[in-house]
Amino acid sequence: MAILVFVEIEDKSVKTSSIEALCYGVSVAGQTGQEVQVVTYGEIDTESLAQLGAYGAAKVLHCQSTQLNENATVQGVSTLIANAFKEVQANTLVMARSSMVDALASRVGIKVGASVVTNVVSLPDTANGFTVKRSIFTGKAFADVQLPEGNRVITIKKNTVPVEKGEGSAEVVDLNTDFASDDFAVSKLSEEKAEGEVLLPEADIVVSGGRGLKGPENWGMVEELAKLLGAATACSKPVSDMEWRPHHEHVGQTGIKISPNLYIAIGISGAIQHLAGVNSSKVIVVVNKDAEAPFFKAADYGIVGDAFDVVPKLIEAFKAQ
């Protein structure tokens, strides 16, 4: 039996979140004594895939289907993963949460007859079966879930395990798979990708702004601070609704849910809908001139002050570093 990890490719590179999923799979393998293999598709050079061996992958199964590359439907990708799962005789599939993976998990689970658990935030307890902790109620609580014997599909949240790189090179092999006739019944007509030097789902640091910035013309200091920190920019829902910022930057219950190492909220009151999207952040820093702002209750560090005074000073301090 093997542990299979699905790795997503974006812009001819392995997504950072997928490397974390690989490290999770390797950690589980350390408990169960299994080998870890990777399945992926898309345009990427063989050398980059071989480097996954430094994170613990023994073999990488790479599908170079032109049909899949041009029209990566959820149905087609789920067939690929399920076929690879059966080929390597895996009993566990690990994936990092993403918009694609959220749609894949249940489909793959049905195809391979597996139990499915999502939003996992810790390594399993294998002392008495196989129990994992998952985030529920938009991060407000946790549930311990014991998975039955047999196949299992696990999707993990960002920052669940540390990424550890060692030495080694994985064997990369071509994977040819048979797709079903309806795997490509849906056609992708267009695609709009979020732009930015650092994208929100992959960001370790996020700098976010709210209505306290008073208008889109004042976002320059947020972008400057983000650039200094190598961070992604984000915003609250009212800001995106007023079209001060693009909708793909909206974080919250109805927007993108993120789990960065550091989240800096500037001029955001901290409504419960916003907190639902960011409360998995490891460290939250809040800048707000209202000392009674709800966000301070969730913050690890808080600065009571006007953003137009505080943020320029933060920029100066980071430049001095």
269 annotated binding-site participant: yes
204 and 313 fall within a common domain: yes
Q: Quote the number of domains for the chain.
A: 2
Is 184 a member of any domain?
Answer: no
pLDDT digits (tens, 9 = 90+) for 243-295: 999 999 999 998 998 989 999 999 999 999 999 999 989 999 999 999 999 99
Q: What is the pLDDT of residue 35?
A: 96
User: What does pTM read for this prediction?
Assistant: 0.84
| pLDDT of 194 higher than 90 | no
211 annotated binding-site participant: yes
17 and 102 fall within a common domain: yes
26 and 149 fall within a common domain: yes
Is 249 a member of any domain?
Answer: yes
Query: Domain holding 211: CATH number?
Result: 3.40.50.1220
147 and 17 fall within a common domain: yes
| pLDDT of 196 higher than 70 | no
Q: How many CB atoms lie within 10 A of CB 283?
A: 13
Domain that holds residue 285: 200-320
287 and 167 fall within a common domain: no
268 annotated binding-site participant: yes
Using alpha carbons, select from 151, 152, 117, 150 the residue that is nearest to residue 134. 117
CA torsion sign, 301 to 306 to 307 to 311?
negative
31 annotated binding-site participant: no
128 and 54 fall within a common domain: yes
**Alpha-carbon distance 234 to 236, whole Å?**
7
107 and 148 fall within a common domain: yes
Q: What is the pLDDT of residue 284?
A: 97
Is 192 a member of any domain?
Answer: no
271 annotated binding-site participant: yes
Domain end among 112, 139, 174: 174
State the DSSP code for 250: B
86 and 31 fall within a common domain: yes
128 and 20 fall within a common domain: yes
CB-count exposure of residue 25 (10 Å: 0-12, 13-18, 19+): buried
Q: What is the pLDDT of residue 242?
A: 95
Which residues pair with residue 155 across a beta bridge? 95
**Alpha-carbon distance 108 to 114, whole Å?**
8
261 annotated binding-site participant: no
16 and 155 fall within a common domain: yes
Kindly report the backbone phi and psi dihedral angles of residue 167, in degrees, each rounded to the nearest multiple of 5, phi listed first: -115, 165
59 and 115 fall within a common domain: yes
| pLDDT of 138 higher than 80 | no
Contact 147, 126 (CB under 8 A): no
**Alpha-carbon distance 143 to 120, whole Å?**
9
Percent of the chain with pLDDT strictly greater than 90: 81
252 annotated binding-site participant: no
Q: Which two tokens stand for residue 102?
A: 């959220």
pLDDT digits (tens, 9 = 90+) for 63-109: 999 889 888 999 999 999 999 999 999 999 999 999 899 999 999 99
Q: Which two tokens stand for residue 177?
A: 């798979």
Is 270 a member of any domain?
Answer: yes
Q: How many CB atoms lie within 10 A of CB 241?
A: 12
Q: Which two tokens stand for residue 266?
A: 């500037």
| pLDDT of 147 higher than 70 | yes
19 annotated binding-site participant: no
The beta strand positions in 169-294, using DSSP E, are 171-174, 205-209, 232-235, 262-266, 283-288
Using alpha carbons, select from 58, 60, 108, 57 the residue that is nearest to residue 80. 108
Query: Domain holding 128: CATH number?
Result: 3.40.50.620
Q: Who has greater pLDDT, 246 or 194?
A: 246
CA torsion sign, 102 to 160 to 114 to 277?
negative
Is 206 a member of any domain?
Answer: yes
**Alpha-carbon distance 124 to 47, whole Å?**
32
